[in-house]
Amino acid sequence: MINITFPDGAVRQYEQGSTAMDIAKKISEGLARKTLAAQVNGEVWDLSRPIKNDATIQFLTWDDEKGKSTFWHSSAHLMAEAVEDVFPGVKFWVGPPVEKGFYYDMDLGENIITESDLEKLEKKMNELSKQNNSFTRKEISKADAIKYFTEKGDEYKLDLLSNLEDGNITFYTQGNFTDLCRGPHIPSTGLIKGIKLTGISGAYWKGDEKNKMLTRIYGVTFPNQKELDEYLIFLEEAKKRDHRKLGKELGIYTMDDDVGPGLVLWMPNGTIIIEELEKLAKETELEAGYKRVVTPHIAKENLYLTSGHLPYYQESMYPPMELEGVKYYLKAMNCPHHHKIFAAQQHSYKDLPLRLAEYGTCYRYEQSGELFGLMRVRCLHMNDAHIYCTKEQFASEFRAVNDMYIKYFKIFGIEKYVMRLSLHDPKKLGQKYVNEPELWIETEAMVRQVMKDANIPFVEVPDEAAFYGPKIDVQIWSAIGKEFTLATNQVDFAQGRRFGLEFKNQNNEMETPLIIHRAPLGTHERFIGFLLEHYAGKFPLWLSPVQVKILPISDKFLSYAENILSQLKNNDIRAEIDERSEKIGKKIRETELAKVPLMLIIGEKEMNESKVSVRRQGKGDEGTKTAEEFIEMVKEEVKNKTQIN
């Protein structure tokens, strides 16, 4: 008998050689049905693999990240089986699960695959799924494996084999398809029900453009058709909300070849959003006791040697400019400049916490291939601040920062978010992490405690901290459930010392402050990209580039419209008149398309009654109001940042 320990700590005994499936079935048939794989001693295993010794076990279902990725990995095998059926002679390279689905890279030889083939492949996959073939695992010697693929004439798998050690090689087979694969897999193909192949692209073998171009087929699968249908609707909606499409349509931003890739030019409409966000941040930070600074975008090499960005962060920095024999770098982060401002004056504990904020613009080198709309750029306007505090002040400061995040989530209607506490790895002290084992333990404990005390949902992730301390990564989900990485909130016990920052404590001794790096609104680039998708371009009133469009029914009412316009402008309301001699229906339609939140229809009746007819984007008529009433309503909505659309 072996002892099996469950996640809740319970220990039960099972026969030696029991599989996870055996154990699941003993617990309940329901569990067995929905279990896809099991984590045995921390490693994901096939459900059918015998457990020979005492172990911990955790069943993985569709709801677990690792359950999903096993499911998608098996789906890649299923797709490969279908491809082999449709394109005999195909040779496969690798087929991993990805964030949402899977792909497989393959050499189709002389065959050419087109989008129209995908449907055929899906059909085949559905057939194979119905066969409900088991995924079976077989350990094989390296020699036998080489023999198998040599006979098959598959140079790709032979290449993979050349890097594997004997005794550690497994084949997986389902139906007529056998693949060199480390696994694990789900029990059988019948579990894969909602199947969609989402695209084809070229991919160089091993990612090297000198190599042959392989064919990559992307797909996504679900345990049932309903989830697939929902996902396809999500995809459709996400496409409509693509920030690159909306960004162009709404005049938010542009890019230019002569300026350079990843360098955003913010157009007037985008700049209004930037300024509203900065206003919000400044007001929020002023209230929270921050002070503002402005620093240059470049500095001498020496600054980054002190900070440790050189050489550790050099790959992400622009190359230097050499002037008067000195190398200057574009800043990739604002912290070193802020530290210099801290250092410019003497400080006593009475001055702390000192919170220095700046919407600082940083430059980071991302490879051309990685650039993506506003999400991956090279110029970043960052909602940055650095808080210099004593150890005693740390908990309340860190908590206040988290509270600020949550305050913003409410304002922007972000309902789903997760904070990930990224910790160091003690094995990598002195390499990836500053070699201060005690300070790591201490600050990680402090952060953990703050999160617990504040009842903030968080997960812990080992080996993802910054080099100078633990951090909180914030993931948010848009209105349609698309995931975005927003920002980080970091503790830094190292840079203060590197920069020789100090304050006089209550005992008249010089002490190094702790530093919190934080950027709740992330960068303008990513955050506005997120907001475009989150709101589908229908910004709430306070953020809308144009808040009110005045639509006179005919030229006769232009002067009354102008009178209304000037009243709105005097009240800092962003308004415009559609002066064209177009039919009112057309004006309304176009204003709806431009996603202006409020329209004022001005005709005979409105002019005679000294009123305006109010229409709301996507909602329609809201009746007539006097200009004063309307202005009051707008001001109230703007003040409350009400999201009505």
Contact 66, 72 (CB under 8 A): no
Question: Measured from the CB of residue 384, what is the shortest distance to a second copy in angstroms?
Answer: 14
* Helix (H) / strand (E) containing 544: none
Residue from 50, 109, 311, 319 binding a second copy (CB under 8 A):
319
Residue from 249, 275, 453, 628 binding a second copy (CB under 8 A):
275
Residue 548 binds a second copy, judged by CB under 8 A: no
* Helix (H) / strand (E) containing 359: strand 354-363
**Residue 176 DSSP SS3:** coil
Residues between 326 and 345 with contacts to a second copy, criterion CB under 8 A: 326, 328, 330, 337, 340-341, 343-345
Question: Measured from the CB of residue 208, what is the shortest distance to a second copy in angstroms?
Answer: 17
| Span interacting with a second copy, options 38-46, 84-92, 286-294, 408-416, rule CB under 8 A | 286-294
Residue 297 binds a second copy, judged by CB under 8 A: yes
Question: Measured from the CB of residue 194, what is the shortest distance to a second copy in angstroms?
Answer: 41
Checking DSSP bridges between strand 2-5 and strand 55-60, what pairing results, if any?
Answer: parallel
Instruction: Kindly write down the DSSP assignment for every residue of 213-281, as one continuous string.
Output: EEEEEEEEEESSHHHHHHHHHHHHHHHHT-HHHHHHHTT-EE--TTT-TT--EE-HHHHHHHHHHHHHH
Residue 258 binds a second copy, judged by CB under 8 A: yes
Residues 6 or more apart in contact with residue 48 via CB below 8 angstroms: 19, 20, 21, 134, 136, 137, 187
Question: Measured from the CB of residue 478, what is the shortest distance to a second copy in angstroms?
Answer: 24
Say how far apart CA 242 and CA 302 lie, in whole Å: 41
Residue from 1, 27, 233, 263 binding a second copy (CB under 8 A):
263
| Span interacting with a second copy, options 93-101, 124-132, 291-299, 421-429, rule CB under 8 A | 291-299
Question: Measured from the CB of residue 111, what is the shortest distance to a second copy in angstroms?
Answer: 35
Checking DSSP bridges between strand 170-174 and strand 55-60, what pairing results, if any?
Answer: unpaired
Question: Measured from the CB of residue 496, what is the shortest distance to a second copy in angstroms?
Answer: 16
- Cα–Cα–Cα angle for 622, 623, 629, rounded to 5 degrees: 95
Q: Which is nearer to a second copy, 381 or 587 (CB)?
A: 381
Residue from 57, 121, 220, 274 binding a second copy (CB under 8 A):
274
Residue 302 binds a second copy, judged by CB under 8 A: yes
Q: How far from each other are the two terminal CA atoms of the chain, in whole angstroms?
A: 62
**Beta strand extents in 481-531 (DSSP E only):** 483-492, 503-504, 510-511, 514-518
| Span interacting with a second copy, options 74-82, 133-141, 188-196, 254-262, rule CB under 8 A | 254-262
Residue 213 binds a second copy, judged by CB under 8 A: no
Peptide bond into 353 cis (omega under 30): yes
Residue 542 binds a second copy, judged by CB under 8 A: no
Q: Which is nearer to a second copy, 278 or 592 (CB)?
A: 278
Residue 143 binds a second copy, judged by CB under 8 A: no
**Residue 86 DSSP SS3:** helix
Residue 271 binds a second copy, judged by CB under 8 A: yes
SS (H, E, C) 200-214: EEEEEHHHCCCCCEE
DSSP bridge partners of 515: 388, 492
Question: Measured from the CB of residue 637, what is the shortest distance to a second copy in angstroms?
Answer: 21
Residues 6 or more apart in contact with residue 13 via CB below 8 angstroms: 1, 2, 3, 4
Say how many C-beta atoms besides its own lie within 10 A of residue 344's C-beta: 7
Q: Which is nearer to a second copy, 218 or 359 (CB)?
A: 359
Query: Based on the number of CB atoms within 10 Å of its own CB, is 345 exposed (0-12), middle (13-18) or buried (19 or more)?
Result: exposed
Residue 321 binds a second copy, judged by CB under 8 A: yes
Computed from CA positions of residues 295, 298, 304, 310, in that sequence, does the dihedral angle turn out positive or negative?
Answer: positive
Question: Measured from the CB of residue 216, what is the shortest distance to a second copy in angstroms?
Answer: 24
Say how many C-beta atoms besides its own lie within 10 A of residue 205's C-beta: 17
| Span interacting with a second copy, options 31-39, 181-189, 361-369, 459-467, rule CB under 8 A | 361-369
Say how far apart CA 51 and CA 33 lie, in whole Å: 20
How far CA 288 is from CA of 249, 263, 292, 396, 473, in Å, comes to 37, 32, 12, 12, 22
Residue 593 binds a second copy, judged by CB under 8 A: no
Residue 371 binds a second copy, judged by CB under 8 A: no
What is the total count of residues that contact a second copy (CB under 8 A)? 55
Residue from 30, 202, 268, 585 binding a second copy (CB under 8 A):
268
Residue 504 binds a second copy, judged by CB under 8 A: no
Question: Measured from the CB of residue 44, what is the shortest distance to a second copy in angstroms?
Answer: 39
Residues 6 or more apart in contact with residue 35 via CB below 8 angstroms: 20, 21, 24, 47, 59, 60, 61
| Span interacting with a second copy, options 21-29, 60-68, 210-218, 299-307, rule CB under 8 A | 299-307
Question: Measured from the CB of residue 560, what is the shortest distance to a second copy in angstroms?
Answer: 21
Residue 155 binds a second copy, judged by CB under 8 A: no
Q: Which is nearer to a second copy, 282 or 432 (CB)?
A: 282
Residue 308 binds a second copy, judged by CB under 8 A: no
Say how far apart CA 80 and CA 85 lie, in whole Å: 8
- Residues interacting with a second copy, by CB under 8 A? 251, 254, 256-260, 263-268, 270-272, 274-275, 282, 291-300, 302-303, 306, 318-324, 326, 328, 330, 337, 340-341, 343-345, 356, 361, 363, 365, 368, 379, 381
